Each structure stands twice: as structure tokens, then as C-alpha cells.
């Protein structure tokens, strides 16, 4: 069994990205710039955002956090996004989710111009992804594919089962894997027998946020197991995932830990997406 060490791979990619960015600085060009919008003070979001800002600064990306109270007027948030869309010094705009419950998140995600949609959530970028065109891809799905490729795990012709079909991870990842010639099965909350779909899979990717939904009896020997979930165990208070790691690792050929697997890959992919947008902007 080999651990898919997302933390190690993300560190390697971080150094490579910092070098690429520094080459532009040496030519006298501006730094890439990422703006993060945060509404309210969700505790988990506070942690995620501070880490994103930290990594951005480490690779040489200018980052700015715009904080708004829960009671911000909806039109004011729209206007701020539109203002950022028009600012030529900004390469990427990230709207940190969740928004307060009375906001329709999708409306604000779609308000971000596709040219600065660093999360790859705009319907234009999603449509390009669906049809296999080059675009900005959602960070977690692309981070997972990059992690598999870093370990030379072939995707082409593999049977892959996804558990969880969110717009952020499951759906886009399924399309991206299809475009790489995998055979993809997607399970959702209404799937009657998940084991029936996982037991023969070469690669299993679980993104439900349900603790230990994937157990050792659900995978075949030498399967590759990717755990996107992150949950705090109510008994041990430790961070765990969708996968019963200690038991599943005994059967898997490759497996991601929680934490230290998919999470770091998501963050570095966000930075790489910002750089892709930056290169497009400065080339104009």
C-alpha cells in the first residue's frame, strides 16, 4: 500500500509555481492577484481562507481578503463583484462558500466573469469542461487528477466509481474523468447499494462528508482509494474522512490520508488556476 501524499506533492508543485511566478517578476511584470470574498464569519471558512491567503503569499501571488457582514445588501455584493470584474489588476476572484442562508449562492458564483473564475464554477467554464475544451477546472477535481498523475496512476480505461455528486466535486470530476477515457459510475444519496458499484472499481473516489461510508468490504484488493471527505470524529475529536482508513488501507494499493491527501492539492490547484488566468491576462 502506498500513501498518496497530497501534502508532499502540493509542496513540490508550490515550489515549481513560485519559480514560474518569479520569472515574470524578474521581467518587471506585476504579480498575479487573487481576491477572496468572505461574507459572515463561518468558523471553517475562517480557517480555509487564512490558509489560502498564506499559500498565495508563499508562491508570490498578491492576495486580498474582502470581508462583509452577514447583513450586507444583496445588490451591494453584486456591485462589488462587478467592480472586481472590471479591475484589470485582478486575475482571480474567489467567493468563499457558504454564503448566509438567504443568499442564493449560484447567483453570485455566476456573477463572477469567466475570465476571473478561479474556482471554475461559471457555467461557461463548466460547459467548456463538459465538452473537453481547455478551461479553468474546479480545484478539487483537478487536484485529484493531478495527484493521480503525479503517482503515475493511469486513468484511461479504468473503472472509476464516484460517491457524491455535488456541483463542486462529484459532477465536474465525473466529466473530467470521462474526458480522460475512464468508465465512470456516479453514486448519489439515492443509490440503493453503493457496494455493488464500488466492489469492482479500479479507483474509488468518495466525496460525501459521511464518516466511514466506505469500508474494507466495499473495495476489491489493490483498488485505488481517494477520500475527499473531512469530518471531525465526535468521539476522538480527530479529523477523519469518508473512508475507514485503518482497515481499507490493508486492501488498497494506493490511498489518500485525511488530512494531508486531497486538501493540500485543492489549495495548490487554486494557486495554479490563478496563475493560468494571470498568464492569459498579461498576454493581452
Is 52 one of the catalytic residues? yes
Query: How much is the pLDDT for 42?
Result: 83
Pick out the chain residues at pLDDT < 50: none
pLDDT 10s digits, 110-165: 999 999 999 999 999 999 999 989 999 999 999 999 999 999 999 999 999 999 99
C-alpha–C-alpha distance, residues 261 and 229, integer Å: 10
- Report DSSP letters for 53-91, one per residue: HHHHHHHT-EEEEEEE-TT--HHHHHHHHHHHHH-TT--
Q: Which of 255, 283, 277 is nearest to 34 (CA)?
A: 277
Task: Exactly one of 96, 117, 202, 244 is catalytic; name it.
Answer: 96
230 is in an annotated binding site: yes
Determine whether the annotation assigns residue 253 to a binding site.
Answer: no
Annotated catalytic, 119?
Answer: yes
pLDDT for the residue 47: 86
165 carries a ligand binding annotation: yes
Active-site residue, from 52, 80, 116, 171: 52
DSSP 218: G
Could you tell me the CA-to-CA distances from 215 to 154, 194, 274 in Å, in that order?
A: 24, 11, 37
pLDDT digits (tens, 9 = 90+) for 86-104: 999 999 999 999 998 889 9
Q: Is residue 209 a contact partner of residue 238, using CB atoms and an 8 Å limit? A: no
Q: Which domains does the chain have, with CATH numbers?
A: 29-114 (3.40.50.10860), 139-263 (3.40.50.720)
Residue 284 has a pLDDT of: 76
pLDDT value of position 38: 94
From 117, 119, 202, 227, the catalytic residue: 119
Do 77 and 47 contact (CB within 8 A), yes or no? no
The reply to whether 164 sits in an annotated binding site is yes
Known catalytic membership, residue 210 = no
Amino acid at each position: 500500500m502506498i500513501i498518496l501524499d497530497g501534502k508532499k506533492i502540493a509542496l513540490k508543485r508550490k515550489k515549481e509555481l513560485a519559480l514560474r511566478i518569479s520569472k515574470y517578476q524578474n521581467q518587471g511584470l506585476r504579480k498575479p492577484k487573487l481576491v477572496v470574498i468572505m461574507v459572515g464569519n463561518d468558523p471553517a471558512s475562517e480557517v480555509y481562507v487564512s490558509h489560502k491567503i498564506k499559500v498565495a503569499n508563499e508562491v508570490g501571488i498578491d492576495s486580498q481578503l474582502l470581508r462583509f457582514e452577514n447583513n450586507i445588501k444583496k445588490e451591494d455584493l453584486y456591485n462589488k463583484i462587478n467592480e472586481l470584474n472590471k479591475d484589470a489588476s485582478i486575475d482571480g476572484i474567489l467567493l468563499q462558500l457558504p454564503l448566509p442562508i438567504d443568499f442564493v449562492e449560484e447567483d453570485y458564483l455566476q456573477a463572477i466573469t469567466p475570465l476571473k473564475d478561479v474556482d471554475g464554477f461559471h457555467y461557461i467554464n463548466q460547459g467548456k469542461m463538459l465538452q473537453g475544451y481547455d478551461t479553468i477546472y474546479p480545484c478539487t477535481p483537478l487536484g485529484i487528477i493531478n495527484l493521480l498523475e503525479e503517482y503515475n496512476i493511469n486513468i484511461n480505461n479504468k473503472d472509476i466509481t464516484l460517491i457524491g455528486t455535488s456541483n463542486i466535486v462529484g459532477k465536474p470530476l465525473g466529466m473530467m474523468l470521462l474526458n480522460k477515457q475512464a468508465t465512470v459510475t456516479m453514486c448519489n444519496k439515492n443509490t440503493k447499494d453503493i457496494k455493488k458499484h464500488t466492489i469492482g472499481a479500479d479507483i474509488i473516489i468518495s466525496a460525501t462528508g459521511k464518516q466511514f461510508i466506505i469500508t474494507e468490504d466495499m473495495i476489491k484488493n489493490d483498488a485505488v482509494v481517494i477520500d475527499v471527505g473531512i469530518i471531525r470524529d465526535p468521539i476522538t475529536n480527530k479529523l477523519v474522512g469518508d473512508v475507514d482508513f485503518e482497515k481499507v488501507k490493508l486492501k488498497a494499493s494506493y490511498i489518500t490520508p485525511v488530512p494531508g491527501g486531497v486538501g493540500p492539492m485543492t489549495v495548490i490547484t487554486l494557486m495554479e488556476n490563478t496563475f493560468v488566468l494571470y498568464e492569459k491576462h498579461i498576454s493581452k
